[in-house]
């Protein structure tokens, strides 16, 4: 199976296992989702360096903080909703405030929770962890990127939230592409508008750019995979060069990527902005394709919102 | 309420089979689901909804009704079957499980499903919300009961023991907690992951009136509820010794039967086996 055809969780565990062979500090914790997250394989590879704590996420985060105090680099795993909001105070105080390099890996983010439904749909996870000082927030987009950035994730000084789709992702990058945490990537050049996307929405954004091209609009597409610290330079430059921005995320448009980009624009270079994503609603149950339609997150929706931002740009400039 | 007659027991056993069949059909429309933990609570649901609970399916929000908080919310489909069979909504609606726009999501949702009293799904929380309902009802001078169903894996959550401490001290005689002690959680056996040890001793130590019964024995479940109701000065917990996947021939006895994929033939086979048994 080629890299692009594999589930992200398998690539994740394989890469983490390769790193763990060389780096004894790496440990894995999971809270009764080892078979869902793939960490069961890590446990097989390193029986003494992985633990299933059971269903107790807050305790897991606290244990990870303590492990980090002894020089380990613990990776905690459960669904993104439970690895953030279910243990938020522990993440805030025991991990971040106390300055421990815990790596929090949240799987099935946003609408990827699909059949688990609204109770499990983390549409606020990026927002809540982004508000914690020192936290790095990363949403890898495909297997090439995941494999390439994981070594750097191990070495970051502070805590990290890794927002991980565990299924097979749409391939975006060629093997061998280089990435640097904190730096976005221009996936497609364009002069009329910039679409800034993250996670599973990047492939939709690229499709939207194709649709827009047919209508004579040249859209730049940027993948912001580090939501914090966000790439201020690239966003400001894109605002200056294209004059309008659309953000696209699998998250509430409040507090996530859309808010982060709005902050940058407000601080440095205001231009018209449209934010595609969940419009401050709770999630619901269903297949991912249905949910994309339901929450107006398809390529067609992105293209329509881009046309709206272009109309605002014309009005203003 | 008095002890069950043999006819009553048979009626409730038949009701349990109906619930199991409807639940299997429901899962069959999707091809996957949380089958293990749904099947293990069916006999309890049959006793509660078939005999014990004071409810009005035509009036799900009736203030004096007995409440059920399914803290292990992923067992929703078993509750949905029970509610449909009791007439809260049509049996056809069971075919909409997890379909776009459904009122029957994987995890129990009080705002979507008629008869679902509390929203659950993030494990560990139903004990607290249930205790809150019991306390509120007591403040209002009501005589209705709140039944709370916990999982054993779920009992690894700290919040369960915060609830146990609070509930033990609050002496909520109008609250009965059930622990579905089927010995399994998502990743396998509770004893191999983070064992609960002597669960009876633990709950007793928290001040609860504690019983342990066979969770698939209709008469035992029923009489334990009667005993719990006779206790006026304490909150009650009943630990149900159960089997995960009970009554579903392709799930019962298997380590990884928490969330399974299956085809229609397996569902049909399991239904046929169930009907043969009864
Ligand atoms: C807080 C939280 N953590 C994790 C999960 C994912 N999850 C759903 S069911 C389950 C296992 C539950 O085990 P148990 O309580 O024993 O239920 P049963 O075996 O009876 O189905 C897990 C880990 C969840 N729903 N909520």
Residue B277's pLDDT is 56
B246 lines ligand 1 (CB under 6 A): no
E strand residue ranges, A31-145: 50-52, 73-79, 103-107, 136-138
Residue B158 contacts A where some CB pair is shorter than 8 Å: yes
Among B32, B106, B156, the residue with its CB nearest the CB of A54 is: B156
Q: Identify the CATH number of the domain in which residue B243 sits.
A: 3.40.50.970
| Domain residue limits, chain A | 3-164, 185-316
B183 Cα: distance to centroid of ligand 1 (angstroms): 12
Structure tokens at B69: 């908080």
User: What CATH number was assigned to the domain covering residues A3-164?
Assistant: 3.40.50.970
A294 touches chain B (CB under 8 A): yes
Instruction: Render pLDDT for A286-314 as a digit per residue (tens, 0 to 9).
Output: 999 999 999 999 999 999 999 999 999 97
Q: What does each C-alpha distance from A80 to A30, A129, B20, B32 come to in angstroms?
A: 12, 11, 32, 22
CB-based contact B186 A33, cutoff 8 Å: yes
For the Cβ of B152 lying below 6 angstroms from any atom of ligand 1, the answer is yes
Q: Provide φ and ψ at A94, rounded to 5°.
A: -65, -35
B270 Cα: distance to centroid of ligand 1 (angstroms): 24
Mean pLDDT for the stretch of residues B253-270? 97
* Sheet of A185-188, strand order: A185-188, A219-223, A193-197, A245-252, A273-278
Cα of A48 vs its chain's centroid, Å: 29
Residue-range definition of the domain harbouring residue B169: 6-275
Residue range A10-25: mean pLDDT, rounded: 98
Residue B36 falls within a domain, yes or no?
yes
Is the pLDDT at B213 greater than 90? The verdict is yes
Supply the residue whose CA is at minimum distance from atom 20 of ligand 1. Answer: B37
| Residue B37 in domain | yes
State both tokens at B203: 């709950």
Inside any domain, residue B1:
no
Q: Within a 10 A sphere around the Cβ of A316, how many other Cβ atoms?
A: 11
- Provide the percentage of residues in chain B whose pLDDT is more than 70: 99
Size of interface A-B (CB pairs under 8 A): 82
Complex-level ipTM: 0.96
Q: How far apart are CA B173 and CA A47, in angstroms?
A: 46
- Say if ligand 1 is within 6 A of residue B66 CB: no
For residue A317, the model assigns a pLDDT of 57
- Residue A182, SS3 per DSSP: coil
Mean per-residue pLDDT over chain A, rounded: 97
Report whether pLDDT(A316) > 80: no
3-state secondary structure of B208: coil
**What's residue A130's pLDDT?**
98
Q: What average pLDDT does this structure show over A167-190?
A: 97
Give the tokens for residue B202. Answer: 């633990």
Alpha carbons B117 and B94: distance in angstroms, whole number: 18
Q: What's the whole-model pTM score?
A: 0.97
How remote is the CA of residue B152 from the centroid of ligand 1, in Å? 9
Percent of chain A scoring above 90 in pLDDT:
97
Domain A185-316 has CATH 3.10.20.10: no
Rounded Cα gap, residues B262 and B239, in angstroms:
30
Handedness of CA A168, A172, A178, A182 (dihedral sign): negative
Which among A217, A223, A172, A171 has a CA at the least distance from the CA of A195? A223
Range list of β-strands (E), chain A = 26-30, 50-52, 73-79, 103-107, 136-138, 160-164, 185-188, 193-197, 219-223, 226-228, 245-252, 273-278
Q: Quote the CA–CA distance of B270 and B251 in Å, as a whole number.
A: 9
- C-beta B72 within 6 A of ligand 1: yes
């Amino acid at each position: 199976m080629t890299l692009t055809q594999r589930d992200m969780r398998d690539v994740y565990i394989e890469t983490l296992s390769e790193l763990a062979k060389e780096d004894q500090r790496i440990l894995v914790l999971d809270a009764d989702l080892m078979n869902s997250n793939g960490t069961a394989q890590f446990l097989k590879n390193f029986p003494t360096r992985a633990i299933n704590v059971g269903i107790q996420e807050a305790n897991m985060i606290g244990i990870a903080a303590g492990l980090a105090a002894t020089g380990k680099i613990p990776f905690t795993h459960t669904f993104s909703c439970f690895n953030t909001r279910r243990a938020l105070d522990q993440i805030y105080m025991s991990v971040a405030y106390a300055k421990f390099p815990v790596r929090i890996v949240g799987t099935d983010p946003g609408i990827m929770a699909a059949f688990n439904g609204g109770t499990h749909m983390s549409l606020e996870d990026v927002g809540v962890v982004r508000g914690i000082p020192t936290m790095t927030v990363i949403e890898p987009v495909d297997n090439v990127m995941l494999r390439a950035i994981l070594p750097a994730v191990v070495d970051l000084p502070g805590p990290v939230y890794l927002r991980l789709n565990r299924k097979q992702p749409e391939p975006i990058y060629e093997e061998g592409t280089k990435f640097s945490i904190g730096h976005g990537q221009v996936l497609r050049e364009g002069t009329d508008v910039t679409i800034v996307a993250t996670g599973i929405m990047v492939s939709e954004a690229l499709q939207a750019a194709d649709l827009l091209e047919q209508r004579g609009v040249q859209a730049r597409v940027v993948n912001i995979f580090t939501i914090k610290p966000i790439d201020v330079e690239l966003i400001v430059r894109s605002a200056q060069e294209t004059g309008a921005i659309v953000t696209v995320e699998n998250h509430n448009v409040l507090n996530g990527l859309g808010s982060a980009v709005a902050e940058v624009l407000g601080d440095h270079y205001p231009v018209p902005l449209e934010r595609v994503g969940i419009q401050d609603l709770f999630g619901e149950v269903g297949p991912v394709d249905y949910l994309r339609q339901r929450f107006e997150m398809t390529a067609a929706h992105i293209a329509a919102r881009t046309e709206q931002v272009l109309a605002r740009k014309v009005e203003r400039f | 309420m008095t002890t069950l007659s043999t006819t009553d027991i048979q009626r409730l056993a038949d009701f349990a089979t109906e619930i199991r069949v409807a639940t299997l059909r429901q899962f069959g429309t999707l091809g996957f689901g949380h089958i293990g933990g749904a099947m293990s609570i069916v006999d309890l649901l049959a006793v509660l909804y078939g005999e014990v609970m004071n409810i009005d399916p035509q009036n799900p929000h009736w203030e004096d009704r007995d409440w059920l908080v399914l803290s292990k919310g992923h067992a929703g489909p078993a509750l949905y079957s029970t509610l449909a069979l009791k007439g809260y909504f049509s049996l056809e609606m069971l075919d909409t499980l997890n379909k776009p726009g459904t009122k029957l999501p994987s995890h129990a949702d009080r705002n979507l499903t008629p008869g679902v009293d509390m929203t659950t799904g993030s494990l560990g929380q139903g004990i607290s919300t249930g205790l809150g309902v019991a306390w509120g009802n007591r403040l209002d001078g009501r005589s209705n009961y709140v039944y709370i169903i916990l999982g054993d894996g779920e009992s690894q959550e700290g919040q369960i023991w915060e609830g146990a401490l609070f509930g033990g001290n609050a002496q909520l005689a109008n609250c009965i907690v059930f622990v579905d002690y089927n010995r399994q959680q998502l990743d396998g056996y509770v004893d191999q992951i983070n064992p609960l040890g002597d669960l009876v001793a633990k709950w007793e130590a928290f001040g609860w009136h504690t019983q342990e019964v066979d969770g698939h024995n209709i008469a035992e479940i029923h009489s334990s509820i009667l005993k719990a109701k006779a206790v006026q000065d304490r909150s009650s917990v009943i630990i149900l010794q159960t089997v995960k996947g009970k009554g579903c021939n392709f799930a019962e006895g298997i380590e990884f039967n928490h969330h399974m994929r299956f085809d229609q033939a397996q569902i049909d086979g399991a239904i046929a086996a169930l009907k043969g048994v009864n």
